[in-house]
Amino acid sequence: MKSPILSLRSAIQNLLTTDAPLLDMLGGPQIYDETPASVTPPYVTFGEAKVDDWSAGNDHGHQHTLSLNIWSRQGGDSEALSIAQWCAGLLDGAKPQLDGHRLIVMRVSGQEVGRPSKDGLRQARVNLEALSEPVMG
């Protein structure tokens, strides 16, 4: 069975890469698990992810906490926050299909913005929570 984290990440990536306005903001499908060396901002990467057991009786489930990092080089936080807000709007309440799991609910639990990095990149973060259960059979 596929990891619940990988299954949810894959579903989120598929959902985001099919949204034309987001692709316009990013200049293409720049949504990565790990940042390629040659990529230029803006782009989105998956941040930290955690899954906890959410089982009750004979029903098995997973409680997810994960984040998306939005990276920008544009002066100020406007570009990164605009992309973060768009991603949040796409993901809050979305129910993309998971491989080997069924998504019960997904919601945006918060957004953050960080200080510029040493190389001048701006970062915004979208924090997500989700519940899923394995599909047996």
Residue ranges of domains in the chain = 4-134
Residue pLDDT, tens place only, 16-56: 999 999 999 999 999 999 999 999 999 999 999 999 998 88
Pick the CATH number of 4-134 from 3.90.1150.10, 3.10.20.740, 3.30.2000.30, 1.10.1200.10: 3.30.2000.30
Q: Which residues are CB-neighbours of 54 under 8 A, at least 6 positions away?
A: 61, 62, 63, 131
Query: Distance from first CA to last CA of the chain, Å, rounded?
Result: 10
| C-alpha closest to that of 100 among 10, 14, 7, 15 | 7
Question: What is the side-by-side strand order in the sheet with 122-134?
Answer: 31-32, 43-53, 62-72, 122-134, 101-113
Report the predicted TM-score, pTM, of the whole model to 2 decimal places: 0.93
pLDDT, tens digit, for every residue of 92-131?
Answer: 999 999 999 999 999 999 999 988 888 889 999 999 999 9
